[in-house]
Amino acid sequence: MMLRELQVLHADQAVAQLPEALVHAAADGRAFVIHTCQRLVVVSCGRESRDVLSPLLEAATEVHEGPRAYAFLLRLACGLESRLPGETEVLGQLKQCWVAFEASRSLLAQQLRPFMQSLFRDVKDVRSRFLSGLGSASYGSLVRRLLDAPGAPGPVLLIGAGQLAESVAPWLRGSELWIANRSEQRAQQLAGRLRQRNPDRPVRVIESGAEAELAAWRAARDVVVCVPGDAALDVARAQAWRAPRAQRGQLIHLGIDDSGDASDWAGAPAMLNLSALYALLRQHDELRRAQLARAERACTERSLLRALGHSDSEPHGWEDLVGIHSLVS
């Protein structure tokens, strides 16, 4: 497959449930789907494939082709498309999605394999050259800063057991970590991985069911939510958080921000959302912005080289780059 055949559809918003047709397309290997808590990306190849898949993603805000598609995937993997620029969790999410899709051994997986191998090499290069020393760029590190407060620590309740929750969990302090998730099995698996990493850290899994979760909301000092808003549960969760308690810490909801409908949480005490995390970024100095700008340029330049079809180390004249620049500009 030539790079010009690469297609990427991107929805820059949370999609709680994938369209059924897209689930089938991913299952039978017609689409490589990257589904995170903040975005949905569908990778395919060839115009015919895009024509089939694009109606399945009505929320798509961007469509990229050829070198532009590769440049987008590179920016995405480097964390430059994230609302937390330079964050590292998205690379792990992308790798997990690719490993699962590659195991399907579909025709599309075979076609994408060389591009994904090049992509991961390019990510390593761009991050080491332009994003090293950027400072703590993870949701976990920012959550810890927001939770740090004087006073005796109490239990921290983590809602969710997905990729975001797993990236945040090691950063959470407190006398005990409680994990509640719709699937108790997934919560137990996450707890097991956390215990392996830190055997001395007390980790408790809350039994499944709304009643047990709400009881944990009323007893925890801090709560960190790593799942999207839930219309069926959020009213009860907000009431449980407002209930009188011996120690009230901080509620951080990573599933909502100021742009969405957060009426269920109106007036909730000591609550911060995604917008509060992003506000921290505005405190960073010009050096961070300059590093991110250089990384952005490096992603574009690397996509140009990939479009030329040569190796990483082979030198290219400016005529080559100018000649192909129109493909991504």
Q: Are residues 94 and 113 in the same domain?
A: yes
Q: Are 62 and 130 within one domain?
A: yes
- Does residue 192 sit in the same domain as residue 119? no
> pTM value?
0.60
147 and 43, same structural domain? no
223 within 8 A of 217, measured Cβ to Cβ: yes
Q: Which domain holds residue 190?
A: 139-281
Q: CATH number, domain at 196? A: 3.40.50.720
The total of structural domains in the chain comes to 2
The CATH number given to whatever domain includes residue 73 is: 3.30.460.30
pLDDT, tens digit only, all 329 positions of the chain: 678 888 888 887 666 667 777 777 778 788 898 887 778 888 988 765 666 666 655 656 788 888 999 999 999 999 898 877 888 888 988 999 999 999 988 989 999 999 999 999 999 999 988 887 665 557 887 888 778 665 557 899 999 998 889 989 998 887 899 999 999 999 999 999 999 999 888 999 999 999 999 999 999 999 999 998 888 899 999 999 999 887 788 999 998 888 766 678 888 888 988 887 777 766 655 667 788 888 999 999 888 888 877 555 444 444 444 444 444 44
Same domain, 304 and 258: no
Same domain, 259 and 161: yes
Same domain for 263 and 300?
A: no
